Amino acid sequence: MDHTAWAGRIVVAIDGSVSALNAARWAAAEAVARGRGLTLAHALVPPVMGGGFSIGLPPRLDILDTMREEAMTELGKIADGLEGDDITIEIQIGSASALMIQASESADLLVLGSRGHGGFKGLLVGSVGTQVASHAQCPTVILREQPRASAHQVVVGIDGSPHSMAAIAFAFDEASRHGWELIAIHAWDVPAYDLIITPQGAVPFPLADVADSEIRLAAEVLAGFRTDYPDVTVQERLVRAPAVQAILEASVDAALIVVGTRGHGPAVGAVLGSVSNGLLHRAPVPVAVVPLIDEEDDVA
């Protein structure tokens, strides 16, 4: 695959579904805001021809050519209806997840609708959305619905982990670029009682001390970013609650939610499949999942 097709661009997955079209509109606006080109990517999944002895045969070349031409025509119509001048189309044979993950190696941002059909069928219900968000080498935005036009905040989960720091950097950049207020959520909770009770009785658990340490951690994490982005208004919220609940409750006026692929402890950004995955399934606004760049260990 020619990596120059994706280099520095925003790549949106297109399959003709309503969700993908909404994602394309969001991606086009983001491309204009970032001064980036937009690439409409389509995974072409050809039919398998039946052969003798139940052996699958590759489709004829004329069938592939026809499918490619039809897809190019449809994507061309979509491109004509989007804002921005630098819009290209890429059609590749293969799976949707492989196409987007390969694009992430040089793309600036990936954008996918939450549900589609064809190569992207059941995006978040099945494995494609999780695979892309887990393994992409650039930030991935999953869009369930368009945010309200009046939305003016970006909500980010923090916990002090390296993944959380990557998410915060992305969130500050988005807030500065769009003129949004940044809501930093540091969610924490005490261990379950069965973890702190011994046969001799309950272990003393100084909740006030725990809260103080969490407040200090949140302030330290945000300090450098406040200096780098003096134009961004920051609202810090320390919430004793499950992370997904805390972020969703803070997202009433959000245009975007940002999380890392994973984190540590009971705070925001644990392993994709808990906090990040929970938000992908439940958040009513776009969710950006931000990976650590050049991370060697990407095992979820």
49: domain CATH number is 3.40.50.620
- State the pLDDT at residue 158: 87
Asked if 196 and 72 sit in the same domain, the reply is no
pLDDT per residue, tens digit, the chain (300 aa), is 456 789 999 999 998 888 889 999 999 999 999 999 999 999 987 765 554 444 555 556 677 888 889 999 999 999 999 999 999 999 998 888 899 999 999 999 999 987 655 444 444 433 677 788 888 999 999 998 888 889 999 999 988 788 889 999 999 999 999 999 999 998 876 554 444 444 444 444 455 555 677 677 778 889 999 999 999 999 999 888 888 999 999 999 999 999 988 654 443 433 454 788 888 888 889 999 999 876 444 433
| Cα–Cα distance for residue pair 128/94, rounded to 1 Å | 13
Among 97, 120, 143, which residue terminates a domain? 143
Q: Domain check: are 95 and 195 in the same one?
A: no
Do 95 and 163 lie in a common domain?
Answer: no
pLDDT for the residue numbered 288: 95
Amino acid at 59: P
pLDDT score of 17: 83
In a domain, 179, yes or no: yes
Domain stop point among 88, 113, 143? 143
Provide the sign of the torsion angle of the four alpha carbons 245, 249, 250, 252, taken in this order. Answer: positive
Residue-level pLDDT at 9: 97
Q: SS3 string of 34-103? A: HCCCEEEEEEECCCCEECHHHCEECCCHHHHHHHHHHHHHHHHHHHHCCCCCCEEEEEEECCHHHHHHHH
pLDDT at 139: 96
Q: Do 172 and 284 reside in the same domain of the chain?
A: yes
User: What pLDDT is stored for residue 160 in this prediction?
Assistant: 78
**Residue 209 domain flag:** yes
Dist. CA 208–CA 120, nearest whole Å: 48
Q: What is the pLDDT of residue 177?
A: 96
Quote the radius of gyration of the chain (alpha carbons, Å). 21
Q: Are residues 177 and 264 in the same domain?
A: yes
The pLDDT, as a whole number, for residue 300 is: 35
Given this model, what pLDDT does residue 96 score?
A: 85
Last residue of a domain, one of 143, 176, 201: 143
Our count of domains for the chain comes to 2
Residue 282 lies in a domain: yes
Structural domain including 137 reads: 3-143
